[in-house]
Copies of this chain bind each other. A is one copy, B any other.
Amino acid sequence: MTELEGKRLLIVDDDPAFTRILARAMKRRGLEVTVAHSVEEAERVLSTFIPDMATVDLKMETASGLTLIPSLRAASNEMKILVLTGYASITTAVEAIKLGATNYLPKPADADEILAALGKTQPDPDIEVNQQPMSVNRLEWEHIQKVLAEHDGNVSATARALGMHRRTLQRKLSKRPVKQ
A59 to B129, CA, bound (A): 7
Q: Kindly provide the distance from the CB of A128 to the nearest chain B CB, expressed in whole angstroms.
A: 8
B residues less than 8 Å from A104 (CB atoms): 90, 94
Q: How many residues of A contact B (CB 8 A)?
A: 54
A38 on the interface (CB 8 Å rule)?
Answer: no
> How many monomers of this protein are in the complex?
2
Are A87 and B131 touching (Cβ within 8 A)?
Answer: yes
A55 on the interface (CB 8 Å rule)?
Answer: no
Are A95 and B123 touching (Cβ within 8 A)?
Answer: yes
A91 on the interface (CB 8 Å rule)?
Answer: yes
Could you list some 5 contacts between A and B, CB below 8 A?
A59-B129, A64-B129, A66-B125, A66-B129, A89-B129
